[in-house]
Structure 1
Amino acid sequence: MRNNLGHSEGAVNLENINHARLEPYISTARLATYSNFFAPADKVELFGCYLWSKEVAAAFFPLLQVLEVTLRNAIHNEASQRLGSYWFDHVATRSRNRMTMGQQRNVAHFTQSIADARQKIRRDLRLPNNSPVSADRIIANLTFGFWTNLFSAAYDVNRNPNALWPVLLRPVFPQAPQGHRDRAKIQQKLLAIKTFRNKAFHHEPIWNIGRPAKVEDAIQKLLNTHDDILDIVNWISLDGGDLIEKAGYSSTVKRVCSLEHLNYLKRPGENDKPISRVKRELRSIVRRPNQTTQITINNRKFGKIHGR
């Protein structure tokens, strides 16, 4: 714990790390990105900013995983009911002459992804080349990029019984508010999240998407991304959103994506107190007659202690 309650003994001390030896493995060019934006006072603060970025990415992983699993299962379940378990083998698209080059690439990526998934499963299970593969196995092997590409206009075909959109928008996103249950708007959100996800999974700084002008702007962008992920999950399933909240995934993102946490990592241990001292202070507070002391952690009210 920190702030009023201090930090436990053995907190990380970046001053004891050999920064010169670490730098080549992170790369001077990458660290320069942090140096130019955060303007750290020294190497300790620089590496603190770098570790903050790592913690931010780690905090988002559970949310991204819940989003990906929720999205793919919602689409697969609804498409299967309408088109059959192997819906992806005969899903309708716009005619080629009505698609842009980008939309044609989306369709080509779709077809290749299904073929690659089948081949990989057969290879992993040591099956003959023409052996049937279960639809569920294929779905589990498709990437997040596959699912975001499904929101391309190429799959938006009015009055076609084998089309995904717009007919499946309501079944897949039953909780989406009026005006947001729109394929193009959902695609825009998902593409932004995919860019964010790819940067996180490839160990790139995710705080600099959109070239923020200052640290506060970068943090606000991260919190906006958190809100977008939570929005889409809730539009599909309120239970999925409830899981994110109750499992602490959402509160972890908000705690890490803060100036307070960034500053702590820049100067770790600066305001820490050993547990022994914290215990003494707590005993002193408890002994104060007729007094109530507010306890805060990370600038959030945690509870109250009433004196005897």
Structure 2
Amino acid sequence: MKKTNYKELEKFISNSRLKSYEQIIKKKKLENLIAAYHWNKQVSTSLYPILQCLEITLRNALHIAGSKAFQASDWYEQVLKHGGDEKFKSDAATHSIKYFRKSAGYKKEPRKKAWLSNHESMLLGSKRKLTNDGKVLSANNVISTVMFGFWVSFFEDAYAGIDPNKSLWPHQESKVFLPGGVANRKQAHLLLLDLQRLRNRMSHHEPVWKDKSVVDDKSAIQFLHTQVDNALLLIRSFSTERYEHLLKSGKVAFFKGVCSERTLLAYLRGDQFKRLDKRKVKRLVCREMRNVRVEPVILTVHDVPKFVVDLWPNQ
């Protein structure tokens, strides 16, 4: 097999990107940095279905509650309008210099533009995309097009108030959150903001473990496990069935195995971890299937690229 040219790889990954991995490995050789880079990609892969489950469950939990509370499939229009008014009024001294907003009591004036909140702009952008794609501007199409951040923004203070005909919170907390989950809208918002940052790092191909609490490999792994625990808490708060189905799918077990010191070490050691020929793979898999402990097995099979055997029991 041809020897890997790590210097050539570095050119097309970038030195600055690889240097960020020095934080989680002791021997800071280029080949180790690239191994940690590949481990990070595998961790990102294992995180994706968990965060996707959270996003879809969050979206539908809000949509079900909002549609019923405001008696409209496009309930978000009314909620966004009132929330936008509250945001404008909260900093009217600044906003009203260049902008107006009639619904907030600030009339149109010469040379002033209509003001939209960032949240309203997200919705407008999604509608434009649907129009450009030749799709109908139905509520179903809109809610399936807007991004994760759109739903997270509904947990901001601007959407809390005493009038249940205008505000989501606290009136919908008992409809959105199940007992035994997150305590309230504010706790959910803090957790969602952290998970949104994690999702953004994945989208930008950054180290997913980047956080001020991370100082080494152990704290990086602990940070990611905490984020997944928080995602699971939120999913369970919205739907017990959705939470249990995610566990049964094996996606959480797969994440826990990939995001571990053992698996990171497997990437750093390369071919030193386990060497098998093709005939022994079946034997190893059958043996692992008898184990109660669930953990991916990292293998290097002769003449076959490295792969992950993902095993979990029915629950």
The alignment's TM-score, normalised by the length of structure 2, stands at: 0.77
Find the aligned partners of 2:43 and 2:271 in 1 and give their Cα distance: 20
Does residue 85 of structure 1 match 2:73? yes
Does the 8 Å contact 2:256/2:295 carry over to 1? no
Farther off after superposition, 265-274 or 41-50: 41-50
The residue aligned with 2:119 is: 110
Do residues 141 (structure 1) and 149 (structure 2) align?
A: no
Distance in 1 separating the partners of 2:138 and 2:291: 57
Checking the alignment, whether the CA contact within 8 Å between 1:57 and 1:200 is kept in structure 2 is yes
CA change 1:278–1:117 in 2 (3 A) is closer
Question: In the alignment, is residue 185 of structure 1 matched against residue 172 of structure 2?
Answer: no
Select 1:120's aligned residue among 125, 129, 132: 129
Q: Measure, in 2, the Cα distance between the counterparts of 1:195 and 1:99.
A: 25
**Which gives a bigger RCO, structure 1 or 2 (Cα 8 Å, sep 6+)?**
1
Q: Look up the SS of the partner of 2:133 in the other structure.
A: helix
Q: Distance in 1 between matches of 2:256 and 2:270?
A: 19
Q: Write the deviation string for residues 129-148 of structure 1: whole angstroms up to 9, x where unpaired.
A: xxx62111111111101111
Post-superposition shift, 1:72? 0.6
CA–CA separation in structure 2 for the residues paired with 1:32 and 1:111: 38
User: Alignment partner for residue 217 of structure 2, among 212, 215, 218?
Assistant: 215
Match of 1:261 among 259, 263, 286: 263
Who is 2:15 aligned against? 28
Counterpart of 2:22, as a letter, is S
Runs of 4+ with >4 A deviation: 276-282, 293-300
Count of matched residue positions in the alignment of Structure 1 and Structure 2 = 270
Structure 1 unmatched ranges of 5 or more: 1-12, 127-131, 286-292, 304-308
User: Which residue of 1 is the match for residue 107 of structure 2?
Assistant: none
Partner of 1:157 in structure 2? 161
Asked if the contact 1:176/1:236 (under 8 Å) is kept, the reply is no
RMSD: 3.1
Verify the 8 A CA contact 1:169 1:181 in the aligned structure 2.
no
Overall identity of the aligned pairs, in %: 27
Matched residue SS, 2:117: helix
- With the length of structure 1 as denominator, give the TM-score of the two structures: 0.78
Partner of 1:172: 176
